Chain A
């Protein structure tokens, strides 16, 4: 089945709704809780990045019996150096955002750790597409 979410970029204090809604759906599908956890953590971090770094975007999720495929697309500033962005602790978040408890630079490393496949396509000035796959078996 397919799910589509619109993510607003202006208010990151209430962000995370798409992840919460997907989590609920996955629980109803009876997916193993440790796998749901992997998906939730990856999706939440990716959603937050979209809100904090890229003025929101759209998320498309496809769930089948063997995997969950998540595609997050934004028209934000893009990531100039993906390898660098993947480093633990690397963050370009502003001081204000850090004050609010975000910007620890652990989002991308955790997405890598908890997903089975993580692909990032990004072009500076155009936007970023993040693809996450988690297998269910």
Chain B
């Protein structure tokens, strides 16, 4: 079963332990000098891909050849994708190149983003459980399921712009009488989390997206075809409002939802979620939380520096504003008429729980505390676990042996050599060492 998009390339991994400490769910261990991802725990945030200097961690996305299976090949580019082309003349040029590499139609995700922002505004006005936490970043939803299950009821129960865009365009084609297996809808993704999302959607039975393509793969195909003169005429569908979705405040309409926090970067998000759990942020209405620093512009599959990307998008937003061309009201209205709410609950995945039986869990916890006290607490990583604490847990869960800690091993050898030394002191009855000296 497809469950993850972040995987390890065995041959490239040198077992350096760089990645284990940066994983927000302690999902990586090094065993036999190779990193291993504990599948249940991984939230596909991509941190380990960014940190690995050997390129051993990879995001598995769909193969671009997959689009050829379909007669109608629809690309869903998000604003974060446009930002990868800072030298493009305008967004039209980027869109037109998408046709050149084989797509037959395009729907800009930005227009669905505009609609989601409206739905979010309305939801926040009537909600009871504050703060509401955005759900558009799948890595964050997964993080909440695993590390912050008490906050599941705070998650905005509204589908992502990607999903709404796919839903709209697919229904359009179906209504024209086209067979479903002829329609392929492809999201061009900044991250592995979105790739996992279509195979295992959250809050939904199934996704309308047929494939997720890596931004990097598409970029490589497009870059040579950007400047050919036969530009195909394209009409913009998204206004500047949709573009600003990618500018780190995401689905937030700052004018309507005054009391809000926009947080990006995994560590900062975790800090904020801890505070929500402690009840200190209940006066905040809405929290836009994105796993990557710089939001989707900083996705693990993005090529451009996120700060340059923000600059590029800002430039295009200003151009759009100046031109004032995009009159997309009709399209926006049509998209807004579609269902947008989750149709399934998000379930907790308490992967840190030691045992279902609390008595057993308590005993294990006591063993962990006892063992932890003996460890050096320097989190050196030589044992293959991210922290001494985590190692103690692994030992008690019988996933690791105590001698895998070099300090415990040394102590063990010391103890053994002491035993051996003591043995050498044993008096042998037929032999007297003192006599020999004479």
Contact = CB atoms under 8 A, between A and B. Distances in A.
Interface of A: 1, 3, 16, 19-20, 23-25, 27-31, 33-34, 36-37, 40-41, 44-45, 63-65, 110, 114, 136
Contacts of B369: 1, 3
A30 B356 contact: yes
Contacts of B356: 30
Nearest to B348: A33
Interface stretch (B106-114, B359-367, B374-382): B359-367
Nearest to A42: B279
Contacts of A136: 358
Nearest to A43: B278
Contacts of B201: none
Contacts of A65: 358-359, 362
A9 to B, nearest CB: 19
Interface string B262-280: 0000000000001001111
A44 B280 CA distance: 9
A19 B361 contact: no
A110 B278 CA distance: 11
A23 B277 contact: yes
B64 interface: no
A37 B362 contact: no
Given A29-B365, A36-B150, 6 more contacts: A27-B352, A29-B353, A29-B358, A29-B362, A37-B150, A45-B279
A30 B356 CA distance: 7
Contacts of A63: 362, 365
Given A40-B277, A41-B279, A31 B358 contact: yes
Contacts, number: 64
Interface residues of B, number: 24
A44 B358 contact: no
A27 B349 CA distance: 11
B355 interface: yes
Q: Which 6 A-B pairs have the closest CB atoms?
A: A33-B150, A30-B353, A41-B279, A33-B149, A44-B278, A37-B150
Given A16-B278, A27-B352, A110-B279, A1 B150 contact: no
A1 B366 contact: yes
A23 B350 CA distance: 13
B51 interface: no
A72 to B, nearest CB: 15
A44 B359 contact: no
B40 to A, nearest CB: 14
Contacts of A16: 278
A30 B362 CA distance: 10
B150 A25 contact: no
21 contacts: A16-B278, A20-B274, A23-B277, A27-B147, A27-B353, A28-B365, A29-B354, A29-B361, A30-B355, A33-B152, A33-B348, A33-B350, A37-B150, A37-B279, A40-B277, A44-B279, A45-B279, A63-B365, A65-B362, A110-B279, A136-B358
Contacts of A114: 279
A28 B277 contact: no
A34 B150 contact: yes
Interface string B135-169: 00000000000010110100000000000000000
Nearest to A44: B278
B268 to A, nearest CB: 16
Contact of B277 (A3, A25, A37, A45): A37
B354 A30 contact: yes
Contacts of B280: 44
Contacts of B274: 20, 23
Contacts of A41: 278-279
Nearest to A30: B353
B262 to A, nearest CB: 18
Nearest to B362: A1
A40 B281 CA distance: 13
Most buried by B among A1, A19, A31, A36: A1
Contacts of B147: 27
A6 B407 CA distance: 27
A17 to B, nearest CB: 11
Nearest to B354: A28
A40 B362 contact: no
Contacts of B355: 30
A13 to B, nearest CB: 13
Contacts of A24: 352
A43 to B, nearest CB: 9
Nearest to A27: B352
